[in-house]
Amino acid sequence: MRLFRTKAGFVVERKGWYFSVDGEGWDLLLAQDDLRGALSALIEGRESSAGFDAAELLAPIGRQEVWAAGVTYYRSRGARMEESKDAGGGSFYDRVYSAERPELFFKSTASRTVGTGGKVRIRGDATWSVPEPELTLLVSAAGRITGYTIGNDMSSRDIEGENPLYLPQAKVYSGSCALGPGILVSEEPLPASTEISIEILRQGRVEFVGKVALTELKRDPQTLVEYLFRDNEFPQGCFLMTGTGIVPPSTFTLASGDLIRITIEPIGTLENEVA
Ligand code: DO4
Ligand code: MG
């Protein structure tokens, strides 16, 4: 079952059939522990409707905060150590990769987040910008993983590499986050063989492709959630990005007009142009 937020309201997709629902409000729905049950009750006895136009889709976020985990893949550890070695920051990434406590940071709010079809941004004062394709968890107010979406943790690597203390500036700015296209509603963990893939097109030509499987994810998603909820409350639930395992070569930087496509079956494809 998948849940979409569209300009015309919420849409539930079940086994290829689409149902428009009024719902009690997005935030109330996303806060629930039994999201699947709540949505099943909402579509019970309803006629299915025609699907929707992709142009109608909105980011699946209301008042939830978006948080992110970092250095959860070996590839990310190596890339951060390399980018920060001149600043003396390299060993921090190595240490956090193997530490019990994960790296968790605040990433975004709805106002900084775009949905599929929206435009992500690179910072005006950055010279080295990349997308970070990440499996993103939907977590209920009580700390239960109730669904999955696709996230793009847009990052300014030159700013992050200059000094690890600049991380919030490298990560949190207008248009620095994309989520979508919708939420795969499931309490079951995704199979470890699930792949995250990315394609970056420049003027219609493929500039970069990459792929990683969840087998490479070092941290258990439930443990990441457990750390996030320590002494923290999320009354509307929250989103938690699980980190990137795909890092383009150091010679690559995003440019205005690039098209970023991130796919995780069976969630879908998140597609954004760079403003
Ligand atoms: O530690 C810096 C950020 C790491 C990150 O965003 C990632 O690994 O995905
Ligand atoms: Mg990231």
23 CA from centroid of ligand 2 (Å): 32
242 CA from centroid of ligand 1 (Å): 9
From the list 161, 156, 86, 164, the residue with the least C-alpha distance to 122 is: 156
Q: Is the CB of 13 under 6 A from ligand 1?
A: no
pLDDT bucket at 24, cuts 50 / 70 / 90: low
Q: Is the CB of 83 under 6 A from ligand 1?
A: no
Q: Is the CB of 210 under 6 A from ligand 1?
A: no
From the list 83, 77, 30, the residue with the least C-alpha distance to 219 is: 77
Q: In this predicted structure, what is the pLDDT of residue 194?
A: 98
69 CA from centroid of ligand 2 (Å): 7
Instruction: For ligand 1, pick from 66, 67, 71, 136 the residue to mutate: most ligand atoms within 8 Å of CB.
Output: 71
Mean pLDDT of the region 47-55: 91
Half-sphere exposure of 159 (CA within 13 A, CB side): 19
Which atom of ligand 1 is least distant from the CA of 68? 6
Instruction: For ligand 1, pick from 132, 154, 166 the residue to mutate: most ligand atoms within 8 Å of CB.
Output: 132
Q: Is the CB of 199 under 6 A from ligand 1?
A: no
Mean pLDDT of the region 96-119: 97
What are phi and psi for residue 227, nearest 5 degrees?
A: -65, -40
Q: Architecture of domain 61-274 in CATH?
A: Alpha-Beta Complex (3.90)
144 CA from centroid of ligand 1 (Å): 23
Whole-number mean pLDDT of the chain? Answer: 96
Mean pLDDT of the region 72-101: 89
Q: Is the CB of 68 under 6 A from ligand 1?
A: yes
Instruction: Check pLDDT > 70 for residue 68.
Output: yes
Q: Is the CB of 156 under 6 A from ligand 1?
A: no
Q: Per-residue pLDDT tens for 96-106?
A: 999 999 999 99
Two structure tokens written together for 127: 């010279």
Task: Report the nearest-CA residue for atom 5 of ligand 1.
Answer: 70
Task: Report the nearest-CA residue for atom 4 of ligand 1.
Answer: 70
What DSSP string describes 157-206? HHHHHH-GGGHHHHH-STT-EEEEEEEEE-SSPPPTT-EEEEEEEETTEE
- Cα–Cα distance list, 107 to 42, 82, 94, 179, 265 (Å): 31, 23, 22, 12, 24
pLDDT bucket at 83, cuts 50 / 70 / 90: confident
State the chain's maximal CA–CA distance in angstroms.
62
Query: Which amino acid appears at position 268 of this protein?
Result: G
Is residue 74 within 8 A of residue 97, CB to CB? The reply is yes
Instruction: Check pLDDT > 80 for residue 22.
Output: no
Which atom of ligand 1 is least distant from the CA of 160? 2
Which atom of ligand 1 is least distant from the CA of 77? 8
Q: Per-residue pLDDT tens for 127-145?
A: 999 999 999 999 999 999 9
What are phi and psi for residue 241, nearest 5 degrees?
A: -75, 140
Is residue 216 within 8 A of residue 37, CB to CB? The reply is no
Helix H or strand E segment including 67: strand 65-70
Two structure tokens written together for 67: 């948080």
Instruction: Please write down the long-range contacts of 8-15, taking CB distance under 8 Å and 24 or more positions apart.
Output: 8/52, 8/56, 11/49, 11/51, 11/52, 12/39, 12/42, 12/43, 13/51, 13/182, 14/43
Q: Residue 82 and residue 93: Cα distance in Å, rounded?
A: 10
Residue extents of the structural domains in the chain: 2-57, 61-274
Instruction: Check pLDDT > 80 for residue 23.
Output: no
Q: Residue 137 and residue 151: Cα distance in Å, rounded?
A: 9
Q: Is the CB of 132 under 6 A from ligand 1?
A: yes
Q: Is the CB of 237 under 6 A from ligand 1?
A: no
Q: Per-residue pLDDT tens for 205-250?
A: 999 999 999 999 999 999 999 999 999 999 999 999 999 999 999 9
Quote the radius of gyration of the chain (alpha carbons, Å). Answer: 18
